[in-house]
Amino acid sequence: MQNTKFQAILKNGKNGSKLFKTPSEAIKMYPNGQILKLVPVNITNFDTVKTGNRNKRGRQFAMRAGI
């Protein structure tokens, strides 16, 4: 359920523009020592969690909640 990606913090004080799967991808994107540090970011995926919208029995109540 959890996925770790890396965000590049650059030496000019700005954050990198995207998240990378591996540190080597970040180094390829910002060569010549532009990276100050790499920060790991945990991304949680809730697709497998059963809620009223996702399980068959709870759907009947999900439509009534908006009233």
| Residue 57 confidence (pLDDT) | 61
Decide: pTM greater than 0.85: no
| Residue 40 confidence (pLDDT) | 92
| Residue 20 confidence (pLDDT) | 92
pLDDT in tens, 30-52: 888 889 999 999 988 777 766 65
Question: How far apart, in Å, are the Cα atoms of 50 and each of 57, 58, 61, 63?
Answer: 10, 9, 14, 16
Residue extents of the structural domains in the chain:
2-66
| Residue 17 confidence (pLDDT) | 73
| Residue 52 confidence (pLDDT) | 57
Q: Which two tokens stand for residue 51?
A: 């809620």
